Amino acid sequence: MLISKKIFGGGVTVPHRKNTAQCETVKMDVPEKVVIPMLQHVGAPCQLVVKKGDIVRVGQVIGISSKYVSAPIHSSVSGTVTNIVQVINSSGMYIDAVEIKADGKQEIHESVKPPVYSNDAELLELIKESGLVGLGGAGFPTHVKLAPQVDKKIDILIVNGAECEPYITADYREIVENSWNIISGINILMDLLKVDNVLIGIEDNKPEAIKVLTDLANTSDKINVVKLKSRYPQGAEKMLIYSLTGRKVPPGKLPLDVGVVVMNVNSVSFVAEYVKTGMPLIKKRVTVDGPAVMNPSNVEVLIGTPLGDVFEFCGGFKTEPYKIIMGGPMMGVAQPSLQNPVLKYTNALLAFDRESGELPKESPCIRCGKCVKACPMNLLPLFLNLNAIHGNIDGLKKYNAMDCIECGSCSYVCPAKRHLVHSIRLGKALLKKESMNKT
């Protein structure tokens, strides 16, 4: 059994602030309306299959795509399609979205029933039809990750329970509340991937989660729970793979290239639940926290629920929110409006007051090298920053901007408060635009 217990290079020590770790998940009421965008994953957007005035039910498909890297989208409520609107996603793109007025009945669509399958190909197709994407925040379509690769031999399944971002406890609560589902999902995926080596990585600041899953894993000689040192970004795929196996994913390559598939604990648990019920991905556990939130909580939310409704359910704001972030404070994306909806990969909503949410003013780089030491990808953030600011495409390529995982470690340690990761994101966007112009 291969268990490395190494620690990756770089990274930073961040305050955990897991204020909601002991907050049992509470189920939010059905909202008056939901707004469900047709792009909630990495890959191609879906095309609408409903129109204004249609009556829909829970679990009904409302968006599909013929593209391979995509996942269908389902209605999270029963009700009436009242409008087709456009919303702006985190990349600044306008995306079609279905606005549905809920009738409160939550009638289930006739297509929702326990699936029947007799082979791996049928199970993989069912996982695609479930609409599952990476629930840890990445949003990559799961059926693509699990598809067999003719030239790749997979020998390890890694289950990611690290949850290294401050504040977020959505994965932790899944482990504590639905541990049997996780083990059940692991068994399904072991059969599908034909692997007999499963490593569950959990940071050492979550002892209860480690104990719960270790007790269950002890019933199998193929599943091992590994206690990881708490260090950000321990939950990033490449860092986690190295910490658990000692294998390094080369630049531009995928976990598959080193024989590994990585799945988030919530994604694994969903697979088990879907196989039992046939209910597609229509809801999500979301950690709601931050200095401006009245009652920090873990909330089960229907996808498409407006952010403002979720905060209201948690008692509203105790002070004027200055910044709303979807995701963690290190990698999350600031939201322009409380009307934006909860998405499939939303794992946290954080509200900050002015004091804690305002970006510090930048000063000139002092060449201290702290950003270089903190970068877990061994990049040179200060040079990426310089080339991104000046739009220097050749420089961005020279310093491998596309290898940046946008973890934010460089910005966190910079004494000059340079907005390093923001500029690198801009640089990566320039490279993508250049690549698209060539095709």
| Per-residue pLDDT reduced to its tens digit, 307-318 | 999 999 999 999
pLDDT score for 259: 95
Share of the chain above pLDDT 70, in %: 98
pLDDT score for 151: 82
Average pLDDT, integer, range 262-286:
97
Cα 286 to Cα 349: distance, rounded to the nearest angstrom:
7
Handedness of CA 352, 355, 356, 362 (dihedral sign): positive
Which has the minimum average pLDDT: 48-57, 83-92, 225-234, 353-362?
83-92
Residue (of 258, 255, 9) closest to 134 by Cα position: 255
Six token digits for residue 216: 């269950």
- Output the CA angle 21-25-30, nearest 5 degrees: 145
Beta-carbon contacts of 303 under 8 Å, excluding residues fewer than 6 positions away, are 34, 36, 40, 76, 281, 282, 283, 284, 341, 342, 343, 344
Residue 5 has pLDDT above 70, yes or no: no
Which has the minimum average pLDDT: 5-14, 61-70, 213-222, 412-421?
5-14
pLDDT score for 4: 60
Q: 43 falls in which pLDDT band (50, 70, 90)?
A: confident
Across-strand partners of 4? none
Q: 436 falls in which pLDDT band (50, 70, 90)?
A: confident
- 233 preceded by cis ω (within 30°)? yes
Across-strand partners of 341? 306
pLDDT score for 266: 97
Pairing verdict, β 156-160 and 260-264: parallel
Classified as helix, coil or strand, 146 is helix
H helix or E strand, kind and range, residue 198? strand 198-203
pLDDT score for 3: 56
Cα 214 to Cα 3: distance, rounded to the nearest angstrom:
15
pLDDT score for 432: 86
Average pLDDT, integer, range 115-127:
96
**DSSP tag of 33:** E
Six token digits for residue 118: 């007799």
Residue (of 327, 350, 282) closest to 100 by Cα position: 282
* pTM, rounded to two decimals: 0.94
In whole numbers, what is the pLDDT of the chain averaged over residues?
Answer: 94
Residue 335 has pLDDT above 70, yes or no: yes
Among the residues of 314-380, which ranges form H helices?
354-357, 370-374
pLDDT score for 439: 64
- Cβ atoms within 10 Å of 414's Cβ, excluding its own: 24
> pLDDT digit string (tens) for 218-256?
888 999 999 999 999 999 999 999 999 999 999 888 999
Beta-carbon contacts of 120 under 8 Å, excluding residues fewer than 6 positions away, are 148, 191, 192
Cα 302 to Cα 78: distance, rounded to the nearest angstrom:
12
φ, ψ at 295 (rounded to 5°): -130, 90
Beta-carbon contacts of 220 under 8 Å, excluding residues fewer than 6 positions away, are none
8 Å CB contact between 304 and 36: yes
Token match 């005035």: residue? 53
Across-strand partners of 351? 324
8 Å CB contact between 162 and 8: no
Cα 10 to Cα 324: distance, rounded to the nearest angstrom:
28
> pLDDT digit string (tens) for 139-190?
899 999 999 777 889 999 999 999 999 999 999 999 999 999 999 999 999 9
* Burial class of residue 31 (count of CB atoms within 10 Å of its CB; 0-12, 13-18, 19+): buried
Across-strand partners of 83? 99
Which has the minimum average pLDDT: 172-176, 208-212, 330-334?
330-334
Beta-carbon contacts of 343 under 8 Å, excluding residues fewer than 6 positions away, are 37, 40, 139, 284, 303, 326
Cα 368 to Cα 310: distance, rounded to the nearest angstrom:
42
